[in-house]
């Protein structure tokens, strides 16, 4: 059973109500989806609360007009990292609407451009992907540095706590010894004969 446009419409309707925050990938490769179904996915991507990070629609049957809808979705969706429309359009004369929308996308890492069985080279898209991958790497490096700094702080705090615990033990022992001496002196005074 292959998913049709109606199936996509129901799926999007059930997921795009703002309550879904966990579905991050929509993998609908090689189904019976046309522009009508894909446009529903694009409309969801345009919503600010869309959690999707990966959309795979490769191997479906779209017309070139869908590239404008995909482009509009890319202009407003900042979460998407992986978009695959490979081999889903028999004829593509102009990928420029998609390239224009994708070239400044802040998070897209994967965007293959092989719509009609031929890979399309697009330097702006390659630049965008390189830039985004470098940004991801930079963020990962910052996370590693923050974790290292946090670990050093935790270690220093543990050492300080151990030092303070040692001081408290010392005070307690000194206090016990002083209390013991005082009690001993009181006891000897109480037990010594009175001089009247």
- Mean pLDDT (the chain, rounded): 85
Q: Which long-range contacts (CB under 8 A, 24 or more apart) does 126-134 make?
A: 127/103, 128/102, 128/103, 128/104, 132/81, 132/105, 132/106, 132/107, 132/108, 133/109
pLDDT of residue 141: 87
Average pLDDT of the residues in 2-20: 90
pLDDT of residue 28: 95
Positions of E strands within 66-177: 82-84
79 pLDDT above the threshold of 80: yes
Tell me which range, 4-8, 44-48, 64-68, 118-122, is most confidently predicted by mean pLDDT: 4-8
Closest among 41, 83, 34 to 61, alpha carbons compared:
34
> In sequence order, what are the residues at sequence separation of 6 or more whose Cβ sits closer than 8 angstroms to the Cβ of residue 76?
45, 46, 48
CB 132 within 8 A of CB 152: no
The reply to whether the predicted model has a pTM over 0.95 is no
**Residues of the chain with pLDDT > 70: what percent?**
91
CB 88 within 8 A of CB 54: no
Closest among 3, 12, 67 to 30, alpha carbons compared:
3
- State pLDDT tens for residues 12-71: 998 888 777 789 999 999 999 999 999 999 999 998 889 999 999 999 988 888 988 999
Is residue 113 very low, low, confident or very high in pLDDT (cuts 50, 70, 90)?
confident
| β-pair partners for 55 | 26, 83
73 pLDDT above the threshold of 90: yes
- State pLDDT tens for residues 164-173: 898 888 888 8
Provide the Cα torsion 13, 56, 98, 134; round to 10°.
120
112 pLDDT above the threshold of 70: yes
Buried b (16+ CB within 10 A) or exposed e, 159-175: eeeeeeeeeeeeeeeee
Note the helical H segments in 3-122.
5-15, 35-46, 66-76, 96-102
Average pLDDT of the residues in 154-171: 89
pLDDT of residue 1: 67
Coil, strand, or helix at residue 27? strand
Using CA atoms, how far apart are residues 3 and 48, in angstroms rounded to an integer? 26
């Amino acid at each position: 059973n292959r998913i049709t446009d109606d199936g996509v419409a129901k799926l999007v309707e059930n997921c795009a109500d703002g309550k879904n925050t966990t579905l991050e990938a929509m993998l609908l490769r090689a189904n019976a989806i046309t522009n009508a179904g894909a446009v529903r996915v694009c409309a969801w991507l345009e919503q600010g609360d869309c959690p999707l990070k990966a959309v795979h629609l490769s191997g479906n049957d779209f017309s070139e007009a869908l590239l404008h809808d995909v482009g509009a979705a890319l202009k407003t969706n900042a979460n998407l990292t992986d978009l695959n429309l490979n081999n889903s359009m028999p004829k593509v004369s102009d990928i420029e609407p998609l390239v224009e929308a994708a070239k400044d996308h802040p998070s897209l890492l994967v965007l293959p451009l092989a719509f009609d069985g031929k890979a399309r080279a697009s330097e702006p898209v390659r630049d965008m992907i390189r830039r985004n991958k470098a940004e991801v790497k930079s963020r990962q490096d910052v996370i590693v540095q923050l974790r290292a700094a946090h670990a050093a702080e935790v270690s220093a705090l543990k050492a300080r706590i151990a030092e303070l615990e040692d001081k408290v033990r010392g005070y307690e022992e000194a206090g016990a010894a002083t209390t013991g001496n005082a009690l001993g002196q009181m006891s000897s005074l109480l037990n010594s004969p009175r001089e009247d």
